[in-house]
Amino acid sequence: MIPLTPLRRVRLLFALASGLLLAFGFAPHHVPLVAWLAMAMLVFAALDARLPIALACGLLHGTAFYGLTLQWVQGVMQLHGGLSAPAAIGVHALMVLILSLFPAAFCVAVAWISRRNIAWACVAAPFLWVASELGRYHMPAIGFPWNLLGYAVSDNLGLLQLAALTGIYGLSFLVAAYGALSAWTLVERSKRAFAWWLALTSAVLPVTLVGARFVPSEMPQLVARLVQTNLPQKGYEANWHQQFAAELDELERLSIAGARAEAPPANAAPEGEASNAAEQGAASSAPTKQVALIVWPEVPAPFYLQDKRFAERAQRIATQAQTHFLVGHVDWKPGAEGRLHPYNSAALLGPGGERLYAYDKIHLVAFGEYVPWRNLLRFAEKMVQEVGDFRAGTERSVGQLPNGKFATVICFEAVFPNEVRQFVSGGAELLVNISNDGWFGRSAAPDQHLAMAQVRAVENRRWLLRATNNGYSVAVDPYGRIVTAMPADARGALDVPFAFRSDRTLYSRFGDWLAWLSVVVSGVLLALGRKAGSEEARK
């Protein structure tokens, strides 16, 4: 057993504190400044540490960070997974442990390289961190790039524009690089280290403080209607449609009312203001342009277009509004053995009620829409009882509207940058994200989910329309601004501006180039940093 000297205790305390601090950079706290400090503390803890100590530092950081930012997992497991409180806590703990392996690997790699050269280790740190984030993305069956480091500073509109070049990984790289330079300056106390730190600070600080003033804005002429259904998350009985007939009638009225009016665009509810469907949005007496698209969220209830009742209602909405209607639903399709299987899907109905487009969700939620490794994880069977055991789609369909092409991104898919980018590569000029965040309850998860979806708009320079069951339903411009939003836990319709864009960013052309470059550079630096000479005791 390695004795805990005073310096080793300091390392462990710094690592633990860095995880706690970093958690405050994310929703619901939104304190981005702590992310820069947290990374400096973590790199400082790992530099020149013995490998077991570095491993412990990474695990402590990860346990603190994921333990706090993913607290909502327990609620989802209990409320919708049917698990007992101890079992839900156990699943959360297992998830935290798995994710903590990535910062642990980062700290071990930094410590390994610092044995040869501390400066090299600090140069390697941002590449190592981004490589670890890419590893989280590509975990077999359960890839989970939730709350990547860059999202902690993505609220800053000036810094956020970097994502158009590098994706979210560029923001992660920037914060990790600043932390590594800060740690290097503290450890070496040399003029060279301080000069590099000062140069990066001088480059980042003006962008952080005034960069938003130089970010362009757009005034689009098209209007979409986002319908927030606010239906309860509960078991779906056979007579569900009869039980909720009044609510469905209300949603139908909200979808149609005023959709064919002609005049200047409606004033949408500003972000954070109350929105009452009877007074604002679709039901507003203010003149509006004709609504070009009506959007309902990811299926929040037993909505099947194979069900005559729901199909007729959907067709009425499209025909009476005389516009296109995009709706989330469960699509039942026969498998190879002839048995019907459910798909989490979206369908576009034309003004005549005809179905013009369909998309089946490709990236399903592990333990929510399907159970990986069934033979090993029998306990998780309960977790799909309410939503069914979904099958994954295979084609990234791009739909056609009168003014341009669009793609539908369903719920969890908005967390995966390269997957959204592939829709844009396929010709999408507008992104529509439909989600049912009601599963999360009123936890930090809906806010975290929204923050990640916003970055997808910037990465691809596309308008992003986001319709959810109970919040947050918003329109995001191609530069990451939330231009209109509906309050959470309210039923209503929100008329939002949007446009089609066909230009391509560096990220939309080349994808995760920075992340894969980080993997290569990390490998080279790890090879160069292999231990030289006999092992010596570390501080």
Q: Residue 282: is its pLDDT beyond 80? A: no
Specify whether the CB–CB gap between 116 and 532 falls below 8 A: yes
Q: Give the 3-state secondary structure of 370-389.
A: ECCCCCCCHHHHHHHCCCCC
For strand 324-334 and strand 293-295, is the pairing parallel, antiparallel, or unpaired?
parallel
Q: Residue 274: is its pLDDT beyond 50? A: no
Q: What percent of the chain has pLDDT over 90?
A: 73
Question: Cα separation of 93 and 112, whole Å?
Answer: 28
Nearest to 107 by CA among 63, 60, 54: 54
Q: Residue 221: is its pLDDT beyond 50? A: yes
Q: 82 vs 244, which has greater pLDDT?
A: 244
Residue tagged 């200047």 (tokens):
264
Nearest to 509 by CA among 274, 166, 201, 211: 166
Q: What is the mean pLDDT of residues 458-470?
A: 97
Q: Residue 80: is its pLDDT beyond 70? A: no
E strand map for 28-165: none
Q: Residue 495: is its pLDDT beyond 50? A: yes
Mean pLDDT for the chain overall: 89
Q: How confident is the model at residue 176 (pLDDT cuts 50, 70, 90)?
A: very high
pLDDT, position 85: 84
Specify whether the CB–CB gap between 409 and 433 falls below 8 A: yes
Cis peptide leading into residue 300 (ω within 30°): no
Q: How confident is the model at residue 529 (pLDDT cuts 50, 70, 90)?
A: confident
Q: What's the pLDDT tens digit per position in 411-458?
A: 999 999 999 999 999 999 999 999 998 878 888 999 999 999 999 999
- What Å distances lie between residue 339 and 124, 307, 335, CA to CA? 52, 17, 6
Specify whether the CB–CB gap between 158 and 458 falls below 8 A: no
Q: Which spans in 156-303 are helix H?
A: 157-160, 163-166, 168-188, 191-210, 240-243, 245-256
For 337, other C-beta atoms within 10 Å of its C-beta total 6
pLDDT, position 539: 45
- Supply φ then ψ for residue 340, to 5 degrees: -75, 140
Element (DSSP H or E) covering residue 432: strand 431-435
Cis peptide leading into residue 178 (ω within 30°): no
Q: How confident is the model at residue 244 (pLDDT cuts 50, 70, 90)?
A: very high
> Is this structure's pTM higher than 0.85?
yes
pLDDT, position 534: 35
Q: What percent of the chain has pLDDT over 70?
A: 88
- 404-410 sheet: strands from edge to edge: 399-401, 404-410, 431-435, 464-468, 473-476, 482-486
Q: What's the pLDDT tens digit per position in 381-420?
A: 555 454 458 899 999 999 999 999 999 999 999 999 999 9
Specify whether the CB–CB gap between 522 and 127 falls below 8 A: yes
Question: Cα separation of 71 and 92, whole Å?
Answer: 8
pLDDT, position 270: 42
Q: What's the pLDDT tens digit per position in 112-159?
A: 999 889 999 999 999 999 999 999 999 987 889 999 999 999 999 999
Question: Cα separation of 100 and 121, whole Å?
Answer: 21
Q: What's the pLDDT tens digit per position in 299-353?
A: 988 999 999 999 999 999 999 999 999 999 999 999 888 889 999 999 999 999 9
Q: Residue 471: is its pLDDT beyond 90? A: no
Please, which residues have CB within 8 angstroms of residue 125's CB and are 6 or more apart in sequence? 43, 106, 110, 176, 177, 179, 180, 183
Q: Residue 376: is its pLDDT beyond 90? A: no
Q: How many CA atoms, within 13 angstroms, populate the side-chain half-sphere of residue 527?
A: 6
Nearest to 294 by CA among 467, 481, 499, 482: 467
- Could you please state the CATH topology (level 3) that the domain comprising 222-498 is classified under: Nitrilase/N-carbamoyl-D-aminoacid amidohydrolase (3.60.110)
Q: What is the DSSP letter of 280?
A: S
Burial of 339 (0-12, 13-18, 19+ CB in 10 A): exposed
Please, which residues have CB within 8 angstroms of residue 475's CB and are 6 or more apart in sequence? 224, 226, 268, 463, 464, 465, 466, 482, 483, 484, 485, 496, 497, 498
Q: How confident is the model at residue 106 (pLDDT cuts 50, 70, 90)?
A: very high
Q: What is the mean pLDDT of residues 233-256?
A: 90
Q: Residue 82: is its pLDDT beyond 90? A: no
Element (DSSP H or E) covering residue 131: helix 118-137
